[in-house]
Amino acid sequence: MLGRRRFLGWTVGAAAGAAVGGGASAGLRALFASAESPIVPPRGPERVVLSVCDLCSGGCGVRVRMVGDRAVRVEGNPLHPVSGGRLCPRGQAALQALYHPDRAEGPLRRRGPRGDLSSFVRATWDEALGEIGARLAEIRAAGRPEAVVLMTGGGGAGLGPRVARRFLSAYGSSNHVALHRGDEAAAIALLLAQGVRTAPALDLQSADYVLSLGSALLEAWSAPVHATRAYGEFRRGRTGRRGKLVHVEPRLSITAVSADEWIAVRPGTEGVFALGVAAAIVGEGLHSKPFVAERIAGLEDERDADGRMRPGLRSVLAQRYRLEQVEAETGVPGDVILRVAREFASAGASLAIGPRKGPILPGRLFDHLAAGVLNALVGAVDAPGGLLVADEPPLPAWPPLPGGVSAAGRARPRLDGAGAERPLLASDPERLAEAIRARAPYRAEALLLLDADPVFASAAPEAFAAAIEDVPLVVSFAAIPDDTALLADWILPGSHYLERADLHTTPAGVPYPLVSLARPALPRPVRDARPAAEVFLELARRVAPELAAALPWKDLDALLHWEMEGLHAARRGAVMGTAFDEAFVRMMEGAGWWAPGYRTAAELWTRAHESGGWWDPFYDHGDWRRVLRTASGRIELRGDLLAPPPAAPDRDGTLALLLFEPLPIAGGTGAELPFLQAILDPGHEAHWETWAEIHPDTAARLGVADRDWVRLESPRSSLVARARVTARVVPDAVAVPVGLGKRGGGRWASNIGANPLRLLAPTRDPLCGLPDFGATRVRVMRARRPNGSA
């Protein structure tokens, strides 16, 4: 018999148990439910928008899938001649940039000390443009418009940089400095050889034998998707013909991995190797004699206008690049040099490519000249499978620039001395930093930065950081505050390419004129951002009426109409289309007909927007008047210039610093996007950190094991990186990727990795004055783990 007390005890106990149990089970259920992500799928009508990617200078046309107001997928536009429906990993990651959590909320004004994001406060566009416009008007009214400097960077040939440059000129300054000089050395080599100032284009898909002198052809190339598509065809796209790729570099790069042969030369001797090959070709008489006879100048010695004897290529090669000399200098056996020479000269269509490594690393002029010599010797200039010169798209002229104050300002010498102190250079950012600090020849009063981060991506990062402090007004258009933006006075976040209309001209390295059109995919930007082009148009209106007259467009759409109407008036080319359309247009233009597929400008507008843009696929090979503008009317082999820069004195125990740009972080951008941080070095487990490749023999000598931390020390600076012991690099060198080590850039880039550009010695190429990115030697030693790293 249960007593009352017992019964009460049991019921209370049972109730308590049930409560605890119920609570526990509810808690457990909540815990289990936390497994699901609270994601709200997009809803709304689907549509497709055509646009142009600007995550690099490649200019790939893209197709964007929109669901409602959300962009959910970006793919290549199949009708676009550059992308052909395909995209590189950067293009695929575009949506991560669009919806990046660390995009600036809107215009930011600095109120506290420089260098800290928390120093910035929100402002409205009206306030920002009002103040900046007023300041610019002030500077111009005081008669010093040349004191305004515009720096542009990577990110494509869209309207943003073009309008910005036009604004600067209309305003009255010639201080437009381009930070990314990846194409410079190749362009200067082409200028010296053919008298044309542009980056050369390569007809890779029609070549049979490619000798790559340390180029990043299959990595951070100027138009990566275009080059890789061509490579696919080069290999297996032509029945019965398979192209052969030989890669010469002290490091087994990604391009080298794809090559049929990797020739490991000593650091800095790619050009010497190329000239050794050239010497063998000339020595054995394997060069294309008809072509040389008709189109080349400078093979033999000749007297110049002053009566002095200028050495010809033949004597320079015979004197300085004999087989045994080249063998000793490069470390490559003579029989390899001879074999490559014979293969190069006897293949159907051969092509030599100079060491452009990415948007930041142009390679040395000497090496590019050497590549040009090889191409000239075998007739690979303006021929199928060879070096081509792209024609400009026939876009209309813009309204004339104002005179008066503006003309006077434009006439003043540039702060960076490009074109004057260093006549071959178009831009000299490092000299600009010096000039700003020295305040000579005049003080810089404003610095506008469009897609440019010189505090990170120049050859003198620390000099820039110091110089910027000296400029009273610094405005950055970065969407995610980068290192330079953190030091700026104003951040005017630029819109993502999917948020604006745009028009892109031919990307560097593509041989036919292109006009790619972009429509805005999103009805309004994700953050309070504006297209830089429209900001400059607005500033023009605020600064002075004559600027507004020089840039008379209300917005981007108005400018686009202007451009397209001019394009229509040129009566050339066709809208982008299928391969069939392309073949048809080529056939017609080859016979002298124009068969565009549109009649009126309105029709051109509609059709171009439906397909992705306009282009002219016909390349007129052998139009020498267009591609040769030298005094002699021939391709100049500048034997007098073919002395390699002196190698840095080999201090005991130092290693040559080899820099390279992995495609995901090329140009100093990309580290902000987590999908790109994860793929920095395929197959080698290196990601989210800066690594230093060291040869096993060297590592043994230094007492360094794989994955140890090492310090690299140069006279300028030092950094800590993760050692990767690998036979991928020659014993005398250490290879470090460029693109990590930012302070800004948001949560996935900030304080990750280290920036090897800080290590660079301030050496300049003696031929042209470009910074010599390959001349630095560093000391390597074991180090302790850096703070905050795993």
User: Which one, 646 or 682, has the nearer CB to another protein?
Assistant: 682
User: Which one, 102 or 462, has the nearer CB to another protein?
Assistant: 102
User: Which one, 205 or 350, has the nearer CB to another protein?
Assistant: 205
Q: What is the CA radius of gyration of the chain?
A: 29
User: Which one, 688 or 709, has the nearer CB to another protein?
Assistant: 688
Least spacing, CB of residue 100 vs another protein, in Å: 7
Least spacing, CB of residue 125 vs another protein, in Å: 21
- What burial class does residue 570 get, using C-beta atoms within 10 Å of its C-beta: 0-12 exposed, 13-18 middle, 19+ buried? middle
Q: How many angstroms separate the CA atoms of 436 and 729, rounded? A: 39
Token digits for 303? 């007297």
Least spacing, CB of residue 404 vs another protein, in Å: 47
Q: How many angstroms separate the CA atoms of 206 and 231, rounded? A: 9
Q: How many angstroms separate the CA atoms of 227 and 250, rounded? A: 23
User: Which one, 254 or 585, has the nearer CB to another protein?
Assistant: 254
User: Which one, 476 or 690, has the nearer CB to another protein?
Assistant: 690
Least spacing, CB of residue 707 vs another protein, in Å: 10
Contact by Cβ (8 Å): 676, 661: no
Tell me the three state secondary structure of residue 667. helix
Which amino acid would we find at residue 9? Answer: G
Q: Give exposure, 624-638, as e/b (b: 16+ Cβ within 10 Å).
A: beebbebeeebbbbb
Tell me the three state secondary structure of residue 62. strand
Q: Which residues, at least 6 apart from 435, have a Cβ–Cβ distance to it below 8 Å?
A: 415, 416, 417, 441, 444
Least spacing, CB of residue 283 vs another protein, in Å: 22
Containing 587, the helix (H) or strand (E) segment is helix 579-590
User: Which one, 202 or 474, has the nearer CB to another protein?
Assistant: 202
Least spacing, CB of residue 526 vs another protein, in Å: 6
Give the HSE-up count for residue 239: Cα atoms under 13 Å, Cβ half-sphere: 0
Q: How many angstroms separate the CA atoms of 492 and 474, rounded? A: 11
* DSSP state letters, 671-728: TTSHHHHTTSBTTTTB-SS-EEEE-HHHHHHHT--TT-EEEEE-SS-EEEEEEEE-TT
Token digits for 522? 């999103």
- What burial class does residue 724 get, using C-beta atoms within 10 Å of its C-beta: 0-12 exposed, 13-18 middle, 19+ buried? buried
Least spacing, CB of residue 685 vs another protein, in Å: 5
Query: In this structure, what DSSP letter does residue 268 have?
Result: T
Q: Give exposure, 89-101, as e/b (b: 16+ Cβ within 10 Å).
A: bbbbbbbebbebe
User: Which one, 674 or 766, has the nearer CB to another protein?
Assistant: 674
Least spacing, CB of residue 88 vs another protein, in Å: 5
Which amino acid would we find at residue 158? Answer: G
User: Which one, 272 or 671, has the nearer CB to another protein?
Assistant: 671
User: Which one, 93 or 432, has the nearer CB to another protein?
Assistant: 93
Least spacing, CB of residue 244 vs another protein, in Å: 8
Least spacing, CB of residue 69 vs another protein, in Å: 9
User: Which one, 105 or 620, has the nearer CB to another protein?
Assistant: 105
Least spacing, CB of residue 731 vs another protein, in Å: 12
